[in-house]
Amino acid sequence: MIVREATFEDKSVWDSFVDGEGGAFSLYFDYGKYVHEVGGGEFIPLLVETAPARLVGMLPIVRENHLLYSTIDSGRGGSGQGLLLKRGLSDSERSEAITELVEYVDTHCSRRCSSFELAESPTSVGEPSGEPTAALVNKGFRFIRNTGLPCNFVLRLRQPFEETIWKEWPRTHRQDISKAARSGVVVIQDRGLRYAEDFITMLSENYERHGARPPNVNEIKARLYEFRDKTKLFVALRDGQPIVTLLCHYTPSTCYLALVGSHEKGTNDANRLCYKAAIEDACNAGLRFADLGYTNTESLAFFKERFRATRVPLRTYEKRYSILRTVMQEAHSLVNHTWHDKSHIWSNRRRLWARIVRT
């Protein structure tokens, strides 16, 4: 097997592989170029092929360079899946592909790096976390076993919506959604992106209310405009004014309910109505799944479970190249969280202490 860095000429083959193997939206070639690089990272798309130029796997990585160290990330930080291999490979072929990819990263991309964090794509929705992949462990990765949060939530879609999905939601949940509709809230698809600037503002306000750093504005604009053919913006209006916005991304099989924004905190019923509109739209379009996304708090998990979505454990791995640089990375991360989220240390004190002890 041969590993090489993909070029722009490989874009159509790369994206076709993502579609054919059920990869996440965040694996599309342009997502790396227009989203990760806008955020300051160096996008490095790696392909592994057999001798006859048959693509059998991909590993998109993002290298972030700091003054004293660098980090390598492949989907670990909630951005989606990382390692994606062709379905139907034998165990030996999977092991060889993983080994070749990791060795390429170690040799060509790991200089001055503190760590390599990697997310492994599940082979099926709802798959339990299971045992770590031996090929990754053999190459020095530590499997981060996770049975709680953070996790992902995925809803399997079936038609017709009213009979197979709507009726399975809790009665009180359906009542809240219906109450929002009766109150005069109307959800529309903003096909012309008239409310794009409102969405960006509301998304930033939503992050700030939770004490988190708002996303990069250029990254959000890239999500809206560079992926216009794979994106829908749902807007909840009351008296003609936007109160909730929901950005969804699409692959041939899945609707990703990616980002939600609102001016005020008390808009849960309108949020639910937006989610219902997006899920119903995806169901009617014949998609197989609605991905409700990365979830790291109990309140958000409770909200998503009301839609009868299934928890999907994250399969994540970490490899450390340098203890000294890892200490610098941990310190830098801690300072950032302290500055942008004053409640982060107290809320995550046990997990942070565990990471310090492991270092």
DSSP 187: E
**The pLDDT value given to residue 146:** 78
Tokens 């492994």 belong to residue: 120
Residue 126 has pLDDT above 50, yes or no: no
Banded model confidence at residue 317, pLDDT cuts 50, 70, 90: very high
Residue 41 has pLDDT above 90, yes or no: no
Residue 148 has pLDDT above 70, yes or no: yes
| DSSP E strands, 18-141 | 42-49, 55-65, 70-74, 84-85, 113-119
- Name the 3-class secondary structure at 130: coil
User: pTM to 2 decimals?
Assistant: 0.87
CB atoms within 10 A of CB 204: 16
**The pLDDT value given to residue 332:** 53
- Name the 3-class secondary structure at 91: helix
The whole-number average pLDDT for the span 144-170 is 92
Banded model confidence at residue 212, pLDDT cuts 50, 70, 90: confident
The domain made up of 2-149+314-358 has a fold known as: Aminopeptidase (3.40.630)
The kind and range of the H/E element at 349 are helix 349-358
**The pLDDT value given to residue 59:** 95
The kind and range of the H/E element at 186 are strand 186-189
Residue 350 has pLDDT above 50, yes or no: yes
Residue 267 has pLDDT above 90, yes or no: no
Tell me which of 37-41, 222-226, 342-346 is least confident: 342-346
**Residues contacting 70, CB < 8 A, separation 6+:** 63, 64, 111, 112, 113, 114
The whole-number average pLDDT for the span 114-138 is 76
**The pLDDT value given to residue 173:** 96
**The pLDDT value given to residue 125:** 47
The whole-number average pLDDT for the span 36-46 is 86
The whole-number average pLDDT for the span 337-358 is 55
Q: Which residues of the chain are in CATH 3.40.630.30 domains? A: 2-149+314-358, 158-287
Cα–Cα distance between 237 and 185 in angstroms, integer? 5
Highest average pLDDT, of 93-102, 325-334, 350-359, comes from 93-102
The whole-number average pLDDT for the span 184-211 is 94
Preceding peptide of 242 cis, ω within 30°: no
Q: Which residue has the higher pLDDT, 212 or 101?
A: 101
Banded model confidence at residue 296, pLDDT cuts 50, 70, 90: confident
**Which of 219, 267, 220 shows the shortest CA–CA distance to 241?**
267
* CA angle in degrees (0–180, nearest 5) for 61-66-67: 150
**Which of 281, 307, 271, 313 shows the shortest CA–CA distance to 292?**
307
Q: Is 58 exposed, middle or buried (0-12, 13-18, 19+ CB in 10 A)?
A: buried
DSSP 26: G
Q: Which CATH class is domain 158-287?
A: alpha beta
DSSP 70: E
**The pLDDT value given to residue 325:** 59
